[in-house]
């Protein structure tokens, strides 16, 4: 299963939604947890349509809630067990295994952070079933999870550590990317912190020993995309099947695409239907190559930005 968590800091503007759409196309998450959506009512249904994912549950943006939501791709059997303006706690039934999943948006105010740890304590029913939590915890576990600014108070770090220890949870380390939040200011030093993460119990780890986590910064939010793949795909040399062509408006004015049509039409023997079929096949391969290059360029630029930031 591929799980994506993101503190999007608002999805009211189409540019932010487009960034999320692009990331979902690249990584095809099956479970998506969003916090700070700043959305209300039917806006979640529209977002569900735009993302191509089913809306499982959402909390509207209000004075007491920044907006949180859970989406699913493959119609998993998901039961909502508890929720508030700071978390969504669910039970997910899969073909391979079942587990608890909790999406978290921790309190940012220092005086309220213990409420996040009390919340986690209250959700642990100690039944031994796999449990995974993910999202923005708004706290660090060690000094190396913060760069720049004042040093975090040891008591705050210890409170988070003790919460994980009490509930037999471990920190899921990422394989790519470390800091998940950044703050840049013209008159202040750049800050980096690892606020977003996944944590799980040993039962979950036993079922998912090969999990892989990556984080990628996005220009529309101070928080990165946090992506977990519980079953990273093995390397393969198998050639993918031929791609089918899907028309997009941008191809109509693309000189290279027009050239493919003309050359294929001229070189293909047979009647009109034969020529159209050949054009569709050639355009499918051409479109696949163009998209592959575009996605490759996007990944290269994303990694370059992450390397520069970190």
d(CA 15, CA 98): 35
Helix (H, G, I), strand (E, B) or coil at 140: coil
Q: Residue 12, exposed/middle/buried by CB under 10 A (0-12, 13-18, 19+)? A: middle
What CATH number matches the domain at 2-229, 3.40.50.1860, 3.40.1360.10, 1.10.3470.10, 3.60.10.10? 3.60.10.10
d(CA 261, CA 283): 8
**232, 193 Cβ separation under 8 angstroms:** no
Domain map of the chain by residue range? 2-229, 249-309
Q: Which residues contact 192 (CB under 8 A, 6 or more apart)?
A: 146, 147, 148, 179, 181, 182, 309, 310
**183, 189 Cβ separation under 8 angstroms:** no
Angle of CA points 173, 73, 59, to nearest 5°:
80
Helix (H, G, I), strand (E, B) or coil at 111: helix
Residue 302: per-residue pLDDT: 64
d(CA 301, CA 99): 35
Q: How many other C-beta atoms lie within 10 A of the C-beta of residue 101?
A: 25
Residue 190: per-residue pLDDT: 82
Q: Mean pLDDT of all residues in the chain?
A: 85
d(CA 309, CA 191): 10
d(CA 1, CA 130): 14
Residue 188: per-residue pLDDT: 66
Residue 174: per-residue pLDDT: 92
Helix (H, G, I), strand (E, B) or coil at 179: coil
Backbone angles phi, psi at 92, to 5 degrees: -115, 125
Residue 241: per-residue pLDDT: 53
CA distances from 89 to 70, 146, 227 (A): 10, 28, 19
Residue 4: per-residue pLDDT: 97
Residue 57: per-residue pLDDT: 94
Residue 55: per-residue pLDDT: 94
Kindly write down the DSSP assignment for every residue of 227-273, as one continuous string. Answer: EEESSPPPP--PPPPPPPP---GGGGG-HHHHHHHHHHHHH--S-HH
Residue 287: per-residue pLDDT: 67
Query: What is the CB-side half-sphere exposure of residue 211 using CA atoms within 13 A?
Result: 23
Helical H runs in the chain? Answer: 14-27, 42-51, 113-123, 154-166, 202-207, 255-267, 272-309
Within the chain, which residues score under 70 in pLDDT?
Answer: 185-189, 219, 234-253, 283-310
Residue 265: per-residue pLDDT: 75
**29, 3 Cβ separation under 8 angstroms:** yes
Residue 251: per-residue pLDDT: 60
Residue 5: per-residue pLDDT: 97
**24, 52 Cβ separation under 8 angstroms:** yes
């Amino acid at each position: 299963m591929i799980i994506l968590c993101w503190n999007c800091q608002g999805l009211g503007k189409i540019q932010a939604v487009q960034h999320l759409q692009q990331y979902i196309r690249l990584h095809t998450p099956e479970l998506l947890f969003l916090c700070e959506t700043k959305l209300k009512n039917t806006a979640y249904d529209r977002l569900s349509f735009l993302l191509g994912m089913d809306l499982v549950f959402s909390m509207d943006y209000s004075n007491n809630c920044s907006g949180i939501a859970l989406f699913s791709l493959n119609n998993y059997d998901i039961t909502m067990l508890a929720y508030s303006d700071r978390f969504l706690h669910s039970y997910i039934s899969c073909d391979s295994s079942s587990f608890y999943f909790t999406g978290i948006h921790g309190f940012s105010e220092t005086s309220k952070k213990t409420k996040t740890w009390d919340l986690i304590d209250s959700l642990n029913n100690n039944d031994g079933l796999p449990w995974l939590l993910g999202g923005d915890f708004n706290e660090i576990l060690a000094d190396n999870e913060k760069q720049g600014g004042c040093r975090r108070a040891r008591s705050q770090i210890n409170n988070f550590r003790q919460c994980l220890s009490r509930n037999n949870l471990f920190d899921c380390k990422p394989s790519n990317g470390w800091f998940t939040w950044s703050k840049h200011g013209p008159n202040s030093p750049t800050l980096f912190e690892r606020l977003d993460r996944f944590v799980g119990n040993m039962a979950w780890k036993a079922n998912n020993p090969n999990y892989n986590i990556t984080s990628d910064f996005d220009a529309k939010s101070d928080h990165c995309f946090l992506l977990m793949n519980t079953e990273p795909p093995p390397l393969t040399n198998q050639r993918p099947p031929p791609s089918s062509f899907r028309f997009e408006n941008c191809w109509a004015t693309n000189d290279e695409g027009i050239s493919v049509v003309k050359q294929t039409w001229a070189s293909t023997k047979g009647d009109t239907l034969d020529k159209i079929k050949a054009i569709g096949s050639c355009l499918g391969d051409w479109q696949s190559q163009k998209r592959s290059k575009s996605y490759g360029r996007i990944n290269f630029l994303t990694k370059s930005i992450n390397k520069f930031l970190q």
